[in-house]
Amino acid sequence: MKCLAIADLFINKAMMDAGLNALRDKGIDVEVREWSHDSIEKLQEDNLRVEQEGAEAVTLPAALLEGADDFEILITQFAPVNTAVLDKLPKLKYIGVLRGGVENVNQQVALARGIEVMNTPGRNARSVAEFTVGMMLAEMRNIARSHDALRDKFWRKDSPNHQAIPELSGKVVGLVGLGHIAQLVAGFLSAFGTEIIFYDKYVSGHERYEKVDTLDELVTRADVVSLHARMTPETENLINAHHFGLMKSSAIIVNTARSGLINERDLIDALQTGKIMGAALDTFDDEPLPDDSAFYLLNNVTITPHIAGSTLDAFSNSPKLFAEILLKKLS
């Protein structure tokens, strides 16, 4: 079998080559080509367009697919696999995406042509889980705000929660979704002595963590609400003004998953009016954040530029992990 792997600035050619050696060891002919961008920012712009508008929104350079008519396997991280790409790969049987989601593949066209689309579940789960706990601490303990103030030579002691700065110990953390990332977060938080509750209609229960019956109950009880659900039409605006009205005024919300899980306008209103104490966010409806974003003016939010899953370990391990998945499929 022949495999075409498309590298990028995050999983570069060397990483892809090394990570797919297991395929070569099994007799699969692997060729790695690189989807070039002038900068990480340019790659992120293309990636964001694909996530928001679908695989057909971005066109790959023609040279990337020259002489590709005999490949049966295509492996990519961010490169869009759209109708034009599939037309260049008439013998294709498998598409491997080196991420948990497969938003960059036109799945309808792939399915119609009998091509199996495979993902790489859990490839950056630890990265996101570690980052999530860090965001909780950053917002609750004013780490980012204090750093910014001190960089401006201001010895800041006050903060939105300065009269009641909490510890994680003894607090209730509510996880919306109990997939791989959420379970890692829960495990990390056990060292802090937190109480974990979760809401996930697709999980019947858990031996260590309490399942609640409704999202309303979770947000009412939690001191920290952390989002870990997948983005689907069903989960769009999952958290909105109704839920902010139920949350404790001392509570914070953390989102390192997808921005669409929260109604962003309702969140901003809840932060501006003090309905909740704060938020820690790594994803936004508009990325990069526009210059007039209300988030820049809020002093009770910790914001980061969609970097929760971006670690060297996550990127370098992804091809290795997918190679194992594919070989198991082919065996």
Are 204 and 140 in the same domain? yes
Residue 219 pLDDT more than 90? yes
Q: What is the pLDDT of residue 4?
A: 98
* Residue predicted with more confidence, 156 or 144: 144
Residue 105 per-residue DSSP state: B
Helix axes 312-330, 125-140, angle to 10 degrees: 150
Same domain, 106 and 75: yes
Q: Please give the full DSSP string across 285-301, using - where no structure is assigned.
A: SSSSPPTT-GGGG-SSE
Same domain, 111 and 169: no
Measured CA to CA in angstroms, residue 88 lies from 82, 92, 96, 114 at distances of: 10, 9, 16, 15
Please spell the DSSP secondary structure of 145-203, one letter per residue.
Answer: HHHHHHHTT------TTTTS---STT-EEEEE--SHHHHHHHHHHHTTTPEEEEE-TT-
Task: Indicate whether 84 and 159 sit together in one domain.
Answer: no
Buried/exposed 150-171: b ≥16 CB within 10 Å, e otherwise: eeeeeeeeebbbeeeebebeeb
Same domain, 144 and 287: yes
Find, among 191, 160, 197, the residue nearest to 302 by Cα. 160
**Percent of the chain topping pLDDT 90:** 90
Mind listing the pLDDT tens digit for each residue in 262-301? 999 999 999 999 999 999 999 999 988 999 999 999 999 9
Q: How is residue 296 written in tokens?
A: 């820049």
| Nearest of 269, 201, 195, 197 to residue 230 by alpha carbon | 201
**Contact of 158 with 149, CB cutoff 8 Å:** no
Mean of pLDDT values over 58-82: 97
Say how many residues make up the chain: 331
Q: Are 112 and 243 contained in the same domain? A: no
Rounded CA-CA distance 221/217 in Å is 6
Mark whether 152 and 70 lie in a shared domain: no
Contact criterion met (CB below 8 Å) for 26 and 1 = no
pLDDT score recorded for residue 160: 84
Range with the poorest average pLDDT among 47-56, 153-162, 165-174, 251-260: 153-162
Residues 150 and 65 in one domain: no
Reported as type and span, the H/E element at residue 125 is: helix 125-140
Q: Are residues 169 and 210 in the same domain?
A: yes
| pLDDT per residue as tens digits for the range 1-24 | 999 999 999 999 999 999 999 999
Handedness of CA 273, 281, 224, 206 (dihedral sign): positive
Query: Could you tell me the residue range of the domain that residue 196 belongs to?
Result: 125-303
pLDDT at position 52, please? 84
CATH (domain of 82) = 3.40.50.720
Look at residue 161 in the predicted model and tell me its pLDDT: 83
**Is residue 194 within 8 Å of 169, Cβ to Cβ?**
yes
The answer to whether residues 101 and 132 belong to one domain is no
User: How confident is the model at residue 100, as a pLDDT?
Assistant: 85
Per-residue pLDDT tens digits for 163-216:
788 999 999 999 999 999 999 999 999 999 999 999 999 999 999 999 999 999
Work out how many domains the chain is built from and give that number: 2
pLDDT of residue 287: 87
* pLDDT score of 243: 98
Q: Mean pLDDT across the chain, nearest whole number?
A: 95
Q: How confident is the model at residue 158 (pLDDT cuts 50, 70, 90)?
A: confident
Element (H, E) at 258: none
- 92 and 27 within one domain: yes
Residues 135 and 240 in one domain: yes
- Reported as a pLDDT band with limits 50, 70 and 90, residue 316 is very high
Catalytic center residues: 258, 287, 306
